Chain A
Amino acid sequence: MGLFDVFKGPTPAQKAAAEASAHRQADILFSLRANRPPTSTLQRLQEARAGKLPWIATLTPAELMIARSHGLRPISAVSATSWLHYGWSWTEGHAQGWGLALTRLKEEAKAAGANAVLDVKMRTIPLTVENSMDFTLIGTAVFVEGLPASRDPIVATVPALEFVKLLEADVVPTGIAVGAHYEWMADWQGNADRRWMGNIESHALSNLWETVRHRAHANLRAHARDQGNGVLAHLNFSQMFEREEKDQPKQYLARHIVIATTVDARRGQEFPHDIKMAVDMHQGRSPLNTSGRHHQSYATNESEGGI
Chain B
Amino acid sequence: MADAIPVHAAERLKGLRSSAHSTGVFTSDFSVNEFLLVRKAGFEPIGLCVGTCVYHVGIQYGSWSKNQELDVLSKAMYHARELAMARMRAEAAAMGADGIVGVKLTIKRLEWDEHLLEFIAIGTGVVHGDGHKGFRAHDGGPFTSDLSGQDFWALLHSGYRPVEMVMGSCVYHVAHRGVLSGLGAAGRNVEMENFTAAMYEAREIAVERMQFEAAAAKAEGVVGVDIHEGSHGWQTHVIEFFAIGTAVLPLDQEIAPEKIADPIMVLSVND
Contact = CB atoms under 8 A, between A and B. Distances in A.
B65 interface: no
B228 to A, nearest CB: 5
B253 interface: no
Contacts of B150: 62, 281-283
A165 interface: yes
Interface residues of A, number: 92
B211 interface: yes
Contact of B154 (A28, A61, A77, A289): A61
A56 B160 contact: no
Given A279-B270, A283-B34, A29 B193 contact: yes
B141 to A, nearest CB: 19
Interface in A91-123: 92-93, 96, 100, 123
B239 A289 contact: no
Contacts of A301: 106-108
Interface in A240-264: none
Contact of B106 (A81, A92, A304): A304
A69 B263 contact: yes
A147 B270 CA distance: 38
Contacts of A81: 196, 199-200, 203
Given A69-B260, A82-B191, A83-B195, A25 B222 contact: no
B126 interface: no
B33 A281 contact: yes
Interface stretch (B15-23, B91-99, B241-249): B241-249
B177 to A, nearest CB: 7
Contacts of A294: 224
Interface stretch (B46-54, B131-139, B229-237): B229-237
Nearest to A10: B71
A71 interface: yes
A60 B223 contact: yes
B196 A55 contact: no
B158 interface: yes
B161 to A, nearest CB: 10
Please classify the interface of chain B as helix (H, G, I), strand (E, B), loop, or mixed, using the class held by over half of its residues: mixed
B155 interface: yes
A71 B230 contact: no
A265 interface: no
Contact of A61 (B69, B196, B223, B265): B223
B180 interface: no
Nearest to B158: A65
B57 to A, nearest CB: 10
B148 interface: yes
Contacts of B151: 60-62
A18 B68 contact: yes
Contacts of B211: 44, 48, 53-54, 56
B116 to A, nearest CB: 14
A225 interface: no
B214 A54 contact: yes
Interface stretch (A186-194, A202-210, A215-223, A268-276): A268-276
Contact of A54 (B194, B197, B201, B220): B220
A74 interface: yes
Interface of A: 1-3, 5-6, 14, 17-18, 21, 24-25, 28-29, 32, 38, 40-41, 44, 48, 53-62, 64-66, 68-71, 74, 77, 79, 81-89, 92-93, 96, 100, 123, 125-129, 132, 134, 136, 138, 140, 164-165, 273-283, 286, 288-289, 293-301, 304-307
21 contacts: A14-B71, A25-B194, A28-B201, A29-B197, A32-B196, A48-B211, A54-B222, A55-B222, A57-B221, A64-B155, A64-B158, A77-B227, A84-B192, A123-B228, A125-B239, A126-B239, A127-B239, A128-B236, A165-B265, A288-B268, A289-B270
